[in-house]
Structure 1
């Protein structure tokens, strides 16, 4: 009994010592720090980013590879892997006997666990290194499951050049994820790990094929996962002779997400790989018709969730300095692309309605005298048609009556705060793109028009929906979206509301649109902001927008339509207001001036400096001849005593 007790104590002390040694000298797992992989919403690879040092190493688990690859690997490298504790005494004895008999190393006797230890901590091939590998293998077996140990091997096994791991090898040699590998491809990767440089198929295709075929003939049958017919078909398959580029869809967004990701992370996004690939190909194709150094950025999102489905950050070539810029986040002048939001806010506030007549005539707002893009004027026109034709004077007039600060505040609440020069204050040019915004913000702004006026930012990562902020345009959003539903020039999908914009000097061309499910935006310009002669949003960006909507999923997409306007909106639009002159207007001396009002209950009375004018009181217009230069106060009164007025100057 005393001897048995001492034996138990000795075993216990040895166990404690081994445990303490394991904790004092744990295996170094730092080489498992891998690159980042970015996935689409269905788990398909969009892009990969290398590990530090430019090594293509991506985490690979047994679940990531087909069962026949794991079975082939175990059959080739360590048939008793599932049963030994990390070291196979039979394999070591056989290796030692072969070494003594041949006078050289014939086989190493290494188990897959020992190989994993060597991959984690590479050392010269010596007896001392072998002893350390044995100890490390025992540690790994104590710390990890068999599948986790296989995962270490699958992640670190060399695949030639700067490729490590079978996930990186599958992308580089076959252009797809390892889960899709067939028997021939699996055999090549397993064989390649033994002598990665001597068997590189791009440099030594015959040697690579011979090694693969030997693996198929001698190891695949024992693996029990490959049928004779599959093996014969695999033997006839050629080996690749060149590397595929690593996956790099959505490179700008991928780099953005990878900056804050842990090494080896797999980041699931909201993007759709098929739509992303189509958007990138479309951008590259469209750029062929544009000037040198032009770039195109695109964003496609679902309206209900605000989830981004495709994002092209700028197809200028990501290797260049300019190509590294994500142009969906670049602050640019929107030109007329923000006008729909201005009209929606004006309708919401009762300043105008879609059928309200507005004047597109030469007019000065103080020192500001806007002109249309065409340099001509159309006269009286409805607000809806003024928006469709993107006329500038009516937009500025609406902003003048609405109030610049009110509009700027609404833009901020909607997630598109106007970026102004340092020290500048919002002013009337804000109606025509006089402040910066980004493509992502503009797309979110258009999504608001298709979502009953609710504001929410675009998102690229899945998650529970964020709390919706206050509804910005509860009544007018649908009306404005309906106004913008027009056929695409040159043909395209129906039921899409769209608008274009061009910034001053042809620096930025925009096209944005929405249907019942999706919202999309396209920007064209140069990354450095220099003008492109002749650039317009209609000519450069709109064809790409039409093509994007033509490629969107065919799942339910009913056309947009002008929905019935709630009564409170109509009541607000009926309030009395002075259409002309606008506050702060400056008129030239000479000739009569027609004062105009809208809303209110007739009869109306027009007054200038408190003196009533002689006119037909059932009408909403009155003629007035200024007596000379000076400042005047124009007022209109309705039958309920409601007043509206404006101050102007005649010179």
Structure 2
């Protein structure tokens, strides 16, 4: 092989070397990662329902990329942007030729002729539009098609397409504009998000409403004409109004969301939280907070654990997270503090398990002295004797110290 190469003429060697360099450059032309972008932090419950989110470091609502794109949105997007997306190799020569003719006739750029794959490359590169940049997009689009499936490419586009303001991608747009996840998008909502990246400035809650509505309904008419949707679907879709105001994202288990935002920024974390139970626990703590606040107890926390699965199913770090008063944004669960009375239920449990204590057993509640330490109850009063279960319910200190001496400190430490 080497002898054959050496026997070639100089221009033949140069051609082979240049060809090899170009092939290697083409093979490694895609950046890694494809998108140099920061992402919002998402936290969902055990069933995938969104609990909360934190904005990306660049101030954009850009959810982490996902491969799950709703069929309605894909249908609308391909009908609007690239109806031959499933068939071309990343570049559609007919579209490019038509765009060139239109631009020459108009004397300015009125059409780009870019496929969805080329637009995905443009979103990756974020460079100014020039003819040279268009040529680079063509090269990289064909390379992208060789490395990724059509569904993956359309998912990359949908996750990074500008949707107006500081909203990027279909998932963030679905929550901000319609108040629910992308998988629940209607035909009207899907059509709205499909036309937005073409003119993201149209998504302004104070102007451009008619222009956006016209583009959306024109796309819905196209879907009706090609038989994608029925007459009934078309009428229902065109009757849907555009969103009037941006929606706030869910604020469920906000202290947990904040904790995960600090430890795993820019990721989508599926937790073990049960959203339904979380909301019930929130309501319970709010009711108790109303009562306790009359005695100037302003902070409450709760952690509910499924002991069989060893999973946290409800996480309430504090109450009234959004009020920003009385330290309500402090996560009490994570805050360092003295163990204090938290150990009493564990001691009670350990002694019950070993039969060393019965719930109705009387424990002394009298002044005692243990090596110079004189424990006192919070009330500074003593009952003489009290049942073990009542001592736990009232969090009495003296009966707990007596129980600990009986059980043994080293033994309890290893429990």
Normalised TM-score (structure 2) = 0.84
Q: CA deviation at 1:382?
A: 4.4
**Residue 257, structure 1, aligned to residue 260, structure 2:** yes
- Higher strand fraction (1 or 2): 1
Equivalent runs, 1:296-445 vs 2, <5 Å: 296-317=300-321, 322=327, 325-333=330-338, 335-346=340-351, 352-354=357-359, 356-365=361-370, 367-388=372-393, 390-407=395-412, 409-410=413-414, 413=415
Counterpart for residue 272 of structure 2 = 270
Question: Unpaired runs of 5+ in structure 2?
Answer: 1-8
After superposition, give the CA deviation of every residue in 1:348-400 in whole Å (9 maximum; x if it has no partner): 66765445443333444454444444444333444455445544433322333
Q: 1:223 & 1:78 partners in 2: Cα distance?
A: 15
Correspondence for 1:580: none
Mapped to 2, the partners of 1:188 and 1:338 lie a distance apart of 56
* Secondary structure of 2:321's aligned partner: coil
* Shift, 1:324, TM fit: 5.0
For structure 1, the residue ranges without an aligned partner over 5 or more in a row are 1-5, 414-651
Secondary structure (helix, strand or coil) at the match of 2:36 reads helix
1:240 alignment counterpart: 243
| CA shift digits 1:449-491 (9 cap, x unpaired) | xxxxxxxxxxxxxxxxxxxxxxxxxxxxxxxxxxxxxxxxxxx
Rg bigger for which structure? 1
The residue aligned with 1:51 is 56
Shift of 1:49: 3.2
Aligned equivalents of 2:334, 2:265: Cα separation in 1: 24
Q: Is the 8 A contact 2:202 2:209 kept in 1?
A: no
Deviations along 1:500-525, whole A, 9 cap, x unmatched? xxxxxxxxxxxxxxxxxxxxxxxxxx
1:176 corresponds to 2:180: yes
Look up the SS of the partner of 1:150 in the other structure: helix
Structure with more helix by fraction: 2
**Partner residue in 2 for 1:164:** 168
1:38 CA drift (Å): 2.0
Paired with 1:69 and 1:11, the residues of 2 have a C-alpha distance of 47
Q: In structure 2, how many angstroms separate the alpha carbons of the residues matched to 1:222 and 1:10?
A: 56
TM-score (norm 1): 0.55
Partners of 2:274 and 2:313 within 8 A in 1: yes
**What is the aligned partner in structure 2 of residue 117 from structure 1?**
121
- Among candidates 30, 34, 37, match of residue 39 of structure 2: 34
CA deviation after TM superposition for structure 1 residue 187, in Å: 0.8
Count of residue pairs the alignment pairs up: 401
What CA distance in whole angstroms lies between the structure 2 residues aligned with 1:175 and 1:394?
53
Q: 2:16 & 2:229 partners in 1: Cα distance? A: 47
SS of the residue 2:198 aligns to: coil
Map 1:494-509 onto structure 2 (within 5 A): none
Superposition deviation, residue 60 in structure 1: 4.3
Greater relative contact order (CA < 8 Å, ≥ 6 in sequence): 2
Partner-residue secondary structure (3-state), 1:47: strand
Identify the match of residue 207 of structure 1 among 203, 208, 211: 211
**Cα deviations by residue, 1:260-307 (Å, 9 ceiling, x for unpaired):** 5484x4322111122223434554565455268933222122121121
Cα 1:339–1:168 change in 2 (3 A) is same
Question: Aligned with 1:63: secondary structure?
Answer: coil
- How much has 1:17 moved relative to structure 2? 4.5
Post-superposition shift, 1:130?
A: 1.9
